[in-house]
Structure 1
């Protein structure tokens, strides 16, 4: 039985995009759990090209944190957050 969540999500993102809101799509599936930063990489791909070129890629450029095998380096995550913040200068996210 389906509940219509996917249809609702598509309607919301289409409506938001039509009103000038920047939509960064990403899918977090169970099969992606073995790929660190898969969701961040998907968000990165939805960013404007000029920001993609000027920022490290979460999935490819991430350095492992010595505090844990699945931890990204803090500076990478802070940089990614600043990039998302810059996106709000052009359009709401």
Structure 2
């Protein structure tokens, strides 16, 4: 099944505005925390299905279609890099993330 995607990105830098019909970037100049950025992104989002994902590729975007398909059976689908085969295969990176 073919799907349409819209991508919102939060940035604490200087770029702002629409980059295309399906990609929108918003700049956070105050309260640059992760939780507030996620909240604001969700409030600006349009569509029936929302995906929150880090952009450092600890999460594999190729998994999104499979996760969306699971929404036929579940109300919520969560992926985690902290479970086996969850995307955090580098041991040093895993342990450093525990410190954060």
Tell me the TM-score normalised to structure 1 length: 0.35
Q: Which has the higher contact order (CA 8 A, sep 6+)?
A: 1
Of Structure 1 and Structure 2, which has the larger fraction of its residues in strand? 2
Q: TM-score, normalised by structure 2?
A: 0.33
